[in-house]
Amino acid sequence: MTAALALQRAGFAVEVHEGAKVLGEVGAGLTLSRGAQAVFRALGLQDRIAALSTPSTAFPFVHYGTGRLLAGQLSDSAGLPDDGTADISRQCHRADLHAVLAAALEERAPGSLHLGHRLVAIEEGASAVSAVFADGSRAVGDALIAADGVRSAARALLWNDGEPRFTGQTAYRFLVPRAGAAPFLEHGRGAVFVGPGATFNRYTLRSGTLLNCVGIAATGEWTGEGWSTPATRAEMLARFAGWHPDVLGLMGEAEAAIKWGLFDRAPLPRWSVGRATLLGDAAHAMLPFLGMGAAMAIEDAVILARAFAGEPNVAAAFARYEAARTPRTALLQAKSAEQGRLTQARDPEDYDAAAAPASDPAILAYDPVTAPI
Ligand SMILES: Cc1cc2nc3c(=O)[nH]c(=O)nc-3n(C[C@H](O)[C@H](O)[C@H](O)COP(=O)(O)OP(=O)(O)OC[C@H]3O[C@@H](n4cnc5c(N)ncnc54)[C@H](O)[C@@H]3O)c2cc1C
């Protein structure tokens, strides 16, 4: 939807085809990097996004057992301006972000969002490309931008490069309402616990009324599907036995706990075939340890629109988009994995803040609205 909004702003007619039959509330916390917010600022949406997201300072990294501060500062965010202008990351609920984007799309390109359209084939002619959907309908256009996630059907159709690879790790995600969370927030509103073979990360959403918690542990096996496999409190407590009382206390209050296997893919050297290209997780799904997956999709969106501005040739625009995006997203894929190794250190005392990608300005300071392409 961000790509559609950016292309619409650049003067193109856009149509968005989503496989889901309804836009439901799935998923929870997402980090919006400074670069992602620059995109929303350029699209005139930052006020709305800031109103529903929570500003975050640099996260404290703490010892999984003792809670000792290993790096960073406790994140009480005191004194941070909360009007969307501060140059900091924010966290928001995925459903809240979707609602803003869907509303903006309806305002600016009424009727352009089509639900229940699951892509099953791509057909290219001499001067147009067709998306063919499972219900037999099709959409025809000058260019097809496939943003269909880590299990992208479009990627399989265009590149046929196999399935994503299970990394041996499972993520457990749950929510805790403010009252239940309050006794367990010794380290402020956000914190990352660093432990042997596992990590636990939590931050507040929705003006502090909700705590988003994610524990990631090496499990070696994964049999579930997608984003909706339920997890139990007992299962999480067993995986994190011996961890800090705040972690275990929050798990004891967990609501809506789910789990998902962490999958990755090798970077693709090229994304585009003819009049079709990939965007977001479909092109470059990455591990979640830097919280930059959604931000990369949002960065892609504005760079794609910039590549098309004043460029009548689809292949030339795609080439410019890929040249700008493949090095950065491959770097972020590698750095996310590296951050994961650091936050699951055998000895948390080894956590080296200076060497950690999480504090690398080259990663955090990139502005996709102004970066040369
Ligand atoms: C249901 C869900 C819940 C998530 N929850 C979280 C979370 O809680 N925290 C977090 O950090 N990240 C979460 N993520 C991942 C995160 O949102 C993405 O990594 C990131 O936003 C990248 O966005 P994307 O647009 O590239 O892909 P996605 O956000 O994965 O979006 C892909 C979209 O394509 C649609 N789609 C898939 N296949 C087809 C098809 N064949 N035809 C048409 N449409 C198709 C999907 O329904 C989905 O709407 C979630 C993703 C999903 C799909």
Coil, helix or strand for 214?
A: strand
- Residue 30 Cβ inside 6 Å of ligand 1? The answer reads yes
Inter-residue contact 155 to 232 (CB < 8 Å): no
User: For position 175, what pLDDT does the model report?
Assistant: 95
- Residue 18 Cβ inside 6 Å of ligand 1? The answer reads yes
User: For position 81, what pLDDT does the model report?
Assistant: 45
- Residues of the chain below pLDDT 70: 57-58, 75-87
**Per residue in 204-238, pLDDT tens?**
888 888 999 999 999 888 877 777 899 999 999 99
- State the distance from the centre of ligand 1 to the C-alpha of 282, rounded, in angstroms: 9
- State the distance from the centre of ligand 1 to the C-alpha of 299, rounded, in angstroms: 15
Q: Could you please report the per-residue DSSP string of 181-213?
A: HGGG-TTBS-EEEEETTEEEEEEEEGGGTEEEE
Residues contacting residue 23 through CB under 8 Å, at least 6 positions apart: 98, 102, 115
Buried b (16+ CB within 10 A) or exposed e, 358-368: bbbeebbebeb
| pTM, two decimal places | 0.94
Coil, helix or strand for 16?
A: strand
User: For position 143, what pLDDT does the model report?
Assistant: 98
The span from the CA of 202 to the CA of 193, in Å, is 9
- Residue 280 Cβ inside 6 Å of ligand 1? The answer reads yes
Domains of the chain in sequence order: 2-61+83-162+266-342 (3.50.50.60)
- Residue 288 Cβ inside 6 Å of ligand 1? The answer reads yes
Q: What is the 3-state secondary structure (H, E, C) of 255-293?
A: EEEEEEEEEECCCCCCCCECCEEECCHHHHCCCHHHCCH
User: For position 84, what pLDDT does the model report?
Assistant: 55
The span from the CA of 80 to the CA of 68, in Å, is 25
The residues carrying an active-site annotation are 203
Coil, helix or strand for 175?
A: strand
Which of 21, 148, 174 for a ligand 1 pocket mutation test, highest count of atoms within 8 Å of Cβ? 148
The number of the ligand 1 atom at minimal distance from the alpha carbon of 20 is 47
The number of the ligand 1 atom at minimal distance from the alpha carbon of 293 is 19
Longest CA–CA separation in the chain, Å = 64
